[in-house]
């Protein structure tokens, strides 16, 4: 088994209560259990009674390989029966692909859970750092409020509004007039631009109307041409029919004339003879 499925090594031993009632305990009520390490999934919780190592190790290894998610070789045909160490209690059934797929999904979920926990820990650390910065900023805002003559603590937004009010109060009338004149100049420029755009729109509208009129005239001419062509086509078909009728009549007349001429020639020959 060790050469085919890999070596299962003992990584530690523990003294525990017997897993089954039929297993006798030592004087202290405990028995020694060995823990094997799987060379495939690297789990170290495969228990086996140390005193039954040589007898039941193969059964325990086959039991684990039947459910090992990382074992890629040929699975044992049957699951082993109850081992005498009282640890492995598995029915004699084959492990299906669905079970293996479910184990893979469980392993993926465990990895995802670990990643989420790590991310939560990182987020918590960032939150703690942010809380420290916010606390420091609150101290600064409190000092600013005291310097401005307000009762601390004050919300940052309140202090910002007060600072803006102070800046507005310090603005003299001349600067206000300058700002208003600049805004009026900007509005005048916008009015000029709007008027130019309106003129461009009127030009485009005029051009569009002209093109629409030309289109309607073209469609009208095309309709008249289509009607004339249809009438001429009907006239041509009528003339073809008349020509065909006259040709048939002429052929019939020619056949009758030829037959009459033959008949007259025959009578003339009889008279001469």
Q: pLDDT value at position 81?
A: 45
pTM of the model: 0.29
Distance CA 61, CA 73 (A): 14
Q: What phi, psi does 239 have (nearest 5°)? A: -65, -35
Q: What residue spans define the domains of the chain?
A: 2-93, 96-170, 172-231
Contact yes or no for 138/153 (Cβ under 8 A)? yes
For 215-243, the DSSP string reads HHHHHHHHHHHHHHHHHHHHHHHHHHHHH
Length of the chain: 273
Q: Which two tokens stand for residue 100?
A: 């293996």
- Three-state DSSP at 49 gives strand
Distance CA 157, CA 103 (A): 55
Q: pLDDT value at position 89?
A: 41
Q: pLDDT value at position 256?
A: 92
pLDDT digit of tens for each residue in the chain (273 aa)? 444 566 889 999 999 888 776 677 788 889 999 999 999 999 988 999 998 888 889 889 889 988 998 888 776 554 444 444 444 444 333 444 556 567 677 877 877 777 787 777 777 877 777 767 766 666 666 777 777 776 665 555 665 677 777 767 666 555 666 767 787 888 888 888 899 988 989 898 888 898 889 998 889 888 888 888 889 999 999 998 998 899 999 899 998 989 998 998 888 888 887
Q: pLDDT value at position 74?
A: 73
């Amino acid at each position: 088994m060790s050469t085919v499925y890999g070596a299962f090594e003992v990584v530690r031993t523990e003294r525990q209560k017997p897993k089954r009632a039929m297993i006798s305990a030592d004087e202290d009520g405990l028995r020694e259990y060995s823990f094997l390490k799987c060379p495939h999934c690297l789990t170290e919780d495969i228990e086996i009674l140390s005193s039954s190592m040589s007898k039941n190790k193969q059964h325990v290894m086959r039991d684990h390989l039947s459910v090992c998610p990382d074992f890629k070789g040929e699975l044992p045909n049957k699951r082993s029966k109850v081992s005498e160490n009282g640890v492995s209690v598995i029915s004699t059934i084959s492990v299906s692909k669905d079970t293996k797929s479910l184990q893979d999904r469980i392993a993926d979920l465990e990895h995802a859970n670990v990643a989420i926990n790590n991310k939560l820990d990182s987020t918590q650390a960032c939150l703690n750092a942010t809380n420290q910065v916010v606390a420091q900023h609150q101290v600064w805002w409190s000092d600013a409020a005291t310097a401005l003559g307000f009762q601390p603590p004050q919300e940052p937004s309140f202090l910002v509004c007060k600072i803006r009010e102070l800046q507005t109060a310090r603005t003299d009338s001349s600067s206000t007039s300058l700002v208003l004149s600049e805004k009026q100049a900007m509005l005048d420029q916008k009015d000029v631009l709007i008027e130019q755009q309106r003129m461009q729109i009127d030009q485009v509208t005029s051009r569009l109307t002209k093109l629409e009129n030309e289109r309607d005239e073209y469609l009208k001419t095309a309709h008249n041409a289509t009607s004339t062509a249809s009438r001429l086509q009907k006239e041509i078909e009528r003339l073809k029919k008349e020509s065909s009728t006259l040709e048939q009549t002429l052929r019939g007349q020619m056949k009758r004339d030829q037959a009459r001429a033959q008949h007259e020639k025959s009578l003339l020959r009889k008279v001469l003879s």
